[in-house]
Amino acid sequence: QSVLTQPPSVSAAPGQKVTISCSGSSSNIGHNYVSWYQHLPGTAPKLLIYDNTKRPSGIPDRFSGSKSGTSATLGITGLQTGDEADYYCGTWDNSLRVFGTGTKVIVL
C-alpha cells in the first residue's frame, strides 16, 4: 500500500554508520519535501528530519538527511543502542500524506 519503498532492515555495530533509503516517484519525493521519523514500539513517533535535510531542535547531528531526484536518504552516524527503532520517511503525494514502508535499525 505504501508508495515509498524502504529496506526492511539495516544493521551495524555501535559507533558505526547506517543509511536508510526511501524510494518514491515524481509525484511524491520528486516534487515535495521529505521528513523522517523514529518510532520506538509503544511510544509516539518522533520527527528527526524535515525539509529533506533540517533537524528540529534537540535532534543530534548524528542524524542527517538528503534527497536526490525521487529518492531520499537518512544517515545515522555513531550508532547507539538507543537508536534501535523503526524509521519511516514521509512526504506528500497529490495532497495526500504518504509514508515509507519502514526500516528497522538493528544495533549489533
Partner 1 sequence: QVQLQESGPGLVKPSETLSLTCTVPGDSIRSYLWSWIRQPPGKGLQWIGYLSYSGSTNYNPSLKSRVTISMDTSKTQFSLKLSSVTAADTAVYYCARENTALEAIDYWGQGTLVTVSS
- Stated as kind and residue range, the H or E segment containing 85 is strand 85-93
Interaction of residue 108 with partner 1, rule CB under 8 A: no
Query: Cell for 53?
Result: 535535510
Interaction of residue 101 with partner 1, rule CB under 8 A: yes
Q: CB count, 10 Å around CB of 49?
A: 27
Interaction of residue 28 with partner 1, rule CB under 8 A: no
Contact yes or no for 43/58 (Cβ under 8 A): no
Task: Give the contacts of 42 (CB within 8 A, at least 6 positions apart).
Answer: none
Q: In this chain, which of 7, 25, 31, 45 binds partner 1, going by CB under 8 A?
A: 45
Query: Cell for 65?
Result: 538527511
Closest contact distance (angstroms) between CB of 37 and partner 1 is: 7
Residue 79 or 99: the one with the smaller Cβ distance to partner 1 is: 99
Binding site for partner 1 (CB under 8 A): 1-2, 32-33, 35, 37, 39, 42-47, 50-51, 54, 56, 88, 90, 92, 95-102
